[in-house]
Amino acid sequence: MHKKRYIAGALCPQCQQRDKVYVYLEGDEKWRACNRCDFNEPFDQTDNRKPEELVTRVNQSRLGEKPLAHEVAVETVKLIDPNKQT
């Protein structure tokens, strides 16, 4: 059911094996897992954009409150998923 896509050259943070980490979709969520160990965690695609948002928030404290609600919603999803999808 899952479409696995291996990340070339990616190092598993858990078992340190190269080219064993793949990305798959769980609903709308992107997950990262390893086929050698049981490493499995949400793949945060927005990682690169976070620094920009932080800068924006500092500059405009008023607008910063709206993105915050966004982040809370995302974190809630992340908290549910790690419980395990079999």
The answer to whether 8 and 63 are in contact (CB under 8 A) is no
In the numeric block, which tokens belong to residue 41?
A: 């965690």
Greatest extent of the chain over all pairs of C-alpha atoms, in Å: 46
The yes or no reply on residue 10 touching Zn ion (CB under 5 A) is: no
Contact string 16-55 vs Zn ion (x = CB under 5 A): ------------------x-xx-x----------------
Which residues share a beta bridge with 21? 34
Compute the least distance from the CB of residue 20 to Zn ion, in Å.
5
Contacts with Zn ion, residue ranges (CB under 5 A): 12, 14-15, 34, 36-37, 39
